[in-house]
Amino acid sequence: MASFAQSPRLERRRAQRVLIRIPVTLYATAWDGNPIQTTAEATAVNRYGALIRCTLAPGLGSTVELLNHLSQQVEEFRIIHVTEERVDGAFEVGVEILSPFRNFWGIHFPDTPPA
């Protein structure tokens, strides 16, 4: 019997990711309260969130807004993951949408089967 440490890591996502490139603008608030924004790119999306590649590293748990350049829609997201800065100066930021029942990405996601 394999130990837990030797078992493959199971990914527990609420929905399947779609690998795609969608240009977005990320709007956040700096530590001093000033608004900041940066052009970014969603590289993987699902009904509940996305992986965003950008030059900002917002704090975990903070709220940001994303503007989807394809649909011109804006929605609020919570930061749930931030990677270390890469050699090219970019971060990968995991975000969770606060209104998951809206079609922010413009993609039809199949219903998730019950667990």
Which are the contacts of 109, defined by CB distance < 8 A and separation ≥ 6?
Answer: 15, 16, 18, 46, 47
Tokens of 51: 């992986």
* Structure confidence by residue, pLDDT tens digits, 8-43: 444 455 567 899 999 999 999 988 999 999 999 999
Pick from 72, 11, 86: nearest CA to 44: 11
Helix H or strand E segment including 101? none
CB atoms under 10 Å from CB of 50, counted, come to 26
Return the domain boundaries, the chain.
18-97
Residue 73 predicted with pLDDT over 50? yes
Architecture of domain 18-97: Beta Barrel (2.40)
Q: Which pTM does this prediction carry?
A: 0.81
Q: What mean pLDDT is predicted for residues 45-50?
A: 93
Separation CA 54–CA 85 (nearest Å): 10
